[in-house]
Structures are given as structure tokens and as C-alpha cells.
Amino acid sequence: METKTTIDRQRPRRRVLRFTRHALEMVVAMVAGMVVLEPVWSFVWPDLGDIVTAQVLVMATDMSLGMALWMRVRHHGWAGIAEMSAAMYLPFLVLLPFYWTGLLSGMALMTAGHVLMIPAMLGAMLRRRHEYGC
């Protein structure tokens, strides 16, 4: 039999597990968005890979669409979806001037943008932790 103290100790752990599961679900949804939409872009805009700025913004869009769809399935509101979508674009928008000035290569931009996207997402999730952990 569980006591009230045992249940109280499990609640924070459950919230952390839900938060973590939700973050992983969103990463999977983002990857799915890229995988599903990349062939569409390849058909519609064959030279996209040659234009790094457009390529990273299209990729952020693909990830945002996949993640937004999953968030709607999970009954998130539009404000939370907008914040999480902004987290997809923010790292690239911050890094693009470094690419344009030649301080970052295209590959470094792509890599750094994806790496910085994780803390940006976590920031958006922590801002609305009641949605993601409960």
C-alpha cells in the first residue's frame, strides 16, 4: 500500500518523466516533418540545397510543421505552438549573420542551429512547464 508520503515523492518524478517523454515526442515529430516534407521541397525547389539560408529556414519550417501537428494532436494551444515554432527558427536567425559574413560555414550553421535548438525548445517548454509536465 502506498502512503501519502510515497505518492508525494513520486509526483515530481512523474512530472519529469512526462516532460522528458513530451520533449522526445516533439523531436520525433520534428524529424518526421523533415523526412516527410524534404521530398516535396526537392520536387518544388530542386536547387534548394545550393542556397544555405533558404535551406535552413525551410528545414526549420519542416520541423515546425511536424512539431505543431503533434502538439495539436496533444491538445496544446496556439500560443504554445507559436512559442515552440519560434524556438525552431531562433537559433538559425541568430547564427545566419555569422554565415553571411563568412564566420560560419554552411555545415557549421546547420550543426550549430540544430544543437542550439534543443536549449531553445527546453526554454519554451520550461516557460509552459504546466503544459508539458502535467
Q: What is the pLDDT of residues 51-93, one digit of tens each?
A: 999 999 999 999 999 999 999 999 999 999 999 999 999 999 9
Number of domains into which the chain is organized: 1
pTM for the predicted model, two decimal places: 0.84
Domain that holds residue 100: 4-133
Q: If you write DSSP's letter for every residue of the chain in order, what string do you get? A: ---HHHHHHHHHHHHHHHHHHHHHHHHHHHHHHHHHHHHHHHHH-TTGGG-HHHHHHHHHHHHHHHHHHHHHHTT--HHHHHHHHHHHHHHHHHHHHHHHTTSS-HHHHHHHHHHHHHHHHHHHHHHTHHHHH-
